[in-house]
Amino acid sequence: MIRNIPKNPVLAAIDKDNLDEADSIVSAIKASVGGIKLGKEFFTSFGPQGILKIAGTDTPLFLDLKFHDIPNTVAGAVRSASKVIAPNMMTIHASGGPAMIRAAADAAAEFDHSPWILAVTVLTSMDDADLAATGVNSTASDQVLRLADLAQKNGADGVICSPLEIKTLRAEFGPDFKLVVPGIRPAGSDHGDQKRVKTPAEALMDGADYLVIGRPISALANPAASVTEILESLG
């Protein structure tokens, strides 16, 4: 099973607990977005079969389950997802450490359709104060850089970062290291629980490869029109 390559940088996040609603949104936008992102809320509700129901086997898919466990368990999870769902990309937590990152990358490489392994650095809902509360005595930007370096050195294809770190990471890790960026909010939209944000055009100009956009698409009455507006803003 080999999925299509995303045709543009917009990945629509469809984290719904209603299968019919999710299916309706995906049907309306899949011809125009680069791909769709399905995460823990959707997966917990509907599992692999729910993902295959709404994404089929051809829609570009970002499987965002943020695996974080001992290396052997994460490797097994990557293999299972690759066999059953065959996503284009999937996430692990960089904070799982070098052995875990390497195990995930090696497991993905076993498949002809080898999905990108993307390491989550610092969640876009967190700022310096949140990190300090967890015992990390670094700024968010410093911690992102540290974890991205760990990810690249241990075989990850790229990272999940906030828009505020794109320029630094692109300069540090070169053009081939994938930067997949949540915390994207079109001008004038509600930031919600995101603390480190930029507009789609700003993030792409800074060097992002893919933009993860959720509520500004999925929460609106006309998701397809929202996608069109976002793509037009990218020029």
Positions annotated as catalytic residues are 66
DSSP character for 219? Answer: T
Helix (H) or strand (E) holding 67: strand 61-67
- Taking the C-alpha atoms of residue 131 and residue 230, their distance in angstroms, rounded to an integer, is 31
Sign of CA dihedral 35, 37, 42, 48: positive
- Residue of 199, 201, 180, 181 lying closest to 191 (CA atoms): 199
- Taking the C-alpha atoms of residue 161 and residue 197, their distance in angstroms, rounded to an integer, is 10
Please, are residues 192 and 205 in contact by the beta-carbon 8 Å criterion? no
